[in-house]
Amino acid sequence: MPTSTREALVAAATDLLDEGGPERVTLREVGRRSGVSHNAPYKHFTGKQDLLAAVAARELDAYAEALRAGGHDGGLSRAVAAYVARALAHPARFRLVYGPWPAGVGQLGEAAERAWTSLVETVSAEQRAGRLPVTIGAVRLADLIRSTVHGAVDLELGGHLTKHEHGPASPVEVVEDLLAALRRD
Choices 46-54, 102-110, 143-151, 161-169; region in contact with DNA by CB under 7 A: 46-54
Touching a second copy, residues 47-66 (CB under 8 A): none
H and E: helices and strands count for the chain: 7, 0
Among 11, 40, 105, 182, binds DNA (CB under 7 A): 40
DSSP character at residue 162 = P
- Least Cα distance to 60 among 89, 92, 97 occurs for 97
Residues 182, 125: Cα–Cα separation, whole Å = 15
State the binding string over 5-34 for DNA (x if CB under 7 A, else -). Answer: x-------------------xxxxx-x---
State the binding string over 147-176 for a second copy (x if CB under 8 A, else -). Answer: xxxxxx-xx-xxxxxx-------xx--x--
- What are the C-alpha distances in Å from 176 to residues 23, 38, 78, 112, 172? 35, 47, 11, 23, 6
Q: Return residues touching DNA (CB under 7 A).
A: 5, 25-29, 31, 35-40, 42-44, 47-49
